[in-house]
């Protein structure tokens, strides 16, 4: 007597069935659920290390002969967020590798801007980098916050033509602050729980290179579609749509991708209201720096409980970094665009995640939904 898995009987695994499962009310409830923050001490430490780096470096850059580089300096501080769950003696290597890729992201896209590459070509390059950075992060097992940090840096570096000297200045500013982040992480390593400590999550098994490559290609495709769609609609910052699509498509399973789409959209909408209220007060530069540091620490304290909560704080942080880099160009108009670009990118991301899904992906979703319906998951 042949036995069929319950998922194949109760939940067919066609793409249209996957779409129906993802639109079930229980999927929306799941995306809003809170979970226990794993190894909150390490996450809090990473947020504090990034915040201290920003508080030390950004005022110095502002008071230096190169205050126009403060936005790129803030990108260097973000490398302190990586490697929080690295094994004993491995955190420093992870942070240094991430510093290299962060500087590479700034340098490559700045060179593209310097060369006068058309916007569409820059968006194509950004999409390719999205796939590359995903592969690098998955292969290097850098952990959270993942490849989005590098894509954010690349997107912040694209745009109008810049002088050759500024290209080098951008890379050096990012590298210098990233080096400071590494020093601060090394000096405070004693406070981190190592990967073999109780309560610290074990790293996920490394998937085969072919699987990582296929996922990277999917992300590059989704990023390109989102970027071109935002550009066609006249968005001033189409890279934000890339971030939305990538955040969704890098989910390991379809139900997680849908959760990310819902959480990122909702969190971005609420966060946009917060940053709108902040910018209405015309904050001083030092107030913005203090807010960035506080938001960075608070984000790492709560994002593990629910991605939407994290996005409520990440959105003001990202927009304040844009404001810091160009206070006259980055005004209140960028707030609603951030929401619309995120919604567009997330919608494209989940649509392509379903369209490009494998049969195993859809069967996993079917099984997950059946367990949820039965109340066993």
Residues 6 or more apart whose Cβ sits within 8 Å of residue 246: 130, 134, 147, 148, 151, 219, 222, 223, 345, 349
pLDDT-derived band at 308, boundaries 50, 70, 90: very high
Q: What percent of the chain has pLDDT over 90?
A: 67
Cβ atoms of 293 and 56 closer than 8 Å:
no
Q: Convert the pLDDT of each residue in 233-253 to its tens digit.
A: 999 899 999 999 999 999 888
- Enumerate the domain spans of the chain: 10-30+40-374
The pLDDT mean for the chain works out to: 89
Cβ atoms of 318 and 268 closer than 8 Å:
no
Cβ atoms of 148 and 102 closer than 8 Å:
no
pLDDT of 71 over the 60 cut? yes
Q: Which pLDDT belongs to residue 362? A: 87
Q: Convert the pLDDT of each residue in 311-357 to its tens digit.
A: 999 999 999 998 887 766 566 778 888 999 999 999 999 999 999 98
Q: Which pLDDT belongs to residue 364? A: 86
Average pLDDT over residues 274-293: 93
d(CA 42, CA 88): 13
Q: Which pLDDT belongs to residue 7? A: 39
pLDDT of 9 over the 50 cut? no
pLDDT of 102 over the 70 cut? yes
Q: Which pLDDT belongs to residue 304? A: 87
| Neighbour-count burial for 322-334, b at 16+ CB within 10 Å, e otherwise | bbbbebeebeeeb
pLDDT-derived band at 151, boundaries 50, 70, 90: very high
d(CA 293, CA 281): 18
Average pLDDT over residues 183-201: 82
Q: Which pLDDT belongs to residue 335? A: 86
pLDDT of 3 over the 50 cut? no
pLDDT-derived band at 160, boundaries 50, 70, 90: confident
Which of the pair, 222 or 38, is modelled with greater confidence? 222
d(CA 105, CA 76): 11
Which of the pair, 124 or 369, is modelled with greater confidence? 124
Helix axes 164-187, 40-63, angle to 10 degrees: 140
Average pLDDT over residues 11-30: 84
Residues 6 or more apart whose Cβ sits within 8 Å of residue 103: 76, 171, 174, 175, 178
Q: Which pLDDT belongs to residue 377? A: 60
pLDDT-derived band at 198, boundaries 50, 70, 90: low
pLDDT of 305 over the 80 cut? yes
pLDDT of 2 over the 80 cut? no
Average pLDDT over residues 208-235: 95
Q: Which pLDDT belongs to residue 330? A: 60
pLDDT of 6 over the 70 cut? no
């Amino acid at each position: 007597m042949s036995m069929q898995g319950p998922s194949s009987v109760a939940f067919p695994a066609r793409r249209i069935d996957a779409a129906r499962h993802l639109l079930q009310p229980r999927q929306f409830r799941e995306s809003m659920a809170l979970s226990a923050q794993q190894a909150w001490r390490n996450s809090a430490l990473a947020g504090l290390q990034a915040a201290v780096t920003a508080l030390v470096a950004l005022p110095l850059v502002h008071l230096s002969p190169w205050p126009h580089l403060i936005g790129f300096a803030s990108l260097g501080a973000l490398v302190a967020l990586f490697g929080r769950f690295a094994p004993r003696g491995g955190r420093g290597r992870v942070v240094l590798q991430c510093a290299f890729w962060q500087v590479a992201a700034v340098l490559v896209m700045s060179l593209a801007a310097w060369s006068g590459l058309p916007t569409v070509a820059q968006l194509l390059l950004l999409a390719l980098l999205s796939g590359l950075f995903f592969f690098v992060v998955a292969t290097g097992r850098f952990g959270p916050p993942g490849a989005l940090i590098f894509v954010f840096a690349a997107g912040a570096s694209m745009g109008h033509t810049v002088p050759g000297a500024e290209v080098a200045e951008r890379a050096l500013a990012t590298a210098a602050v990233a080096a400071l982040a590494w020093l601060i992480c090394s000096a405070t390593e004693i406070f981190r729980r190592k990967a073999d400590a109780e309560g610290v999550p074990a790293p996920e098994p490394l998937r085969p290179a072919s699987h990582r490559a296929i996922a990277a290609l999917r992300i590059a495709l989704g990023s390109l579609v989102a970027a071109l769609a935002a550009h066609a609609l006249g968005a001033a910052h189409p890279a934000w749509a890339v971030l939305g699509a990538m955040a969704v498509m890098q989910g390991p399973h379809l139900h997680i991708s849908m959760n990310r789409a819902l959480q990122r959209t909702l969190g971005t909408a609420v966060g946009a209201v917060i940053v709108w209220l902040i910018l209405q007060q015309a904050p001083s530069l030092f107030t913005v720096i203090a807010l960035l540091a506080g938001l960075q620490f608070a984000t790492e304290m709560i994002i593990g409980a629910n991605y939407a909560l994290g996005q409520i704080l990440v959105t003001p942080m990202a927009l304040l970094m844009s404001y810091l880099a160009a206070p006259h160009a980055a005004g209140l108009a960028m707030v609603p665009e951030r929401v619309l670009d995120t919604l567009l990118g997330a919608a494209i991301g989940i649509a392509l995640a379903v369209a490009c899904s494998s049969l195993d992906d859809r069967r996993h979703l079917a099984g997950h939904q059946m367990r949820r319906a039965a109340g066993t998951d």
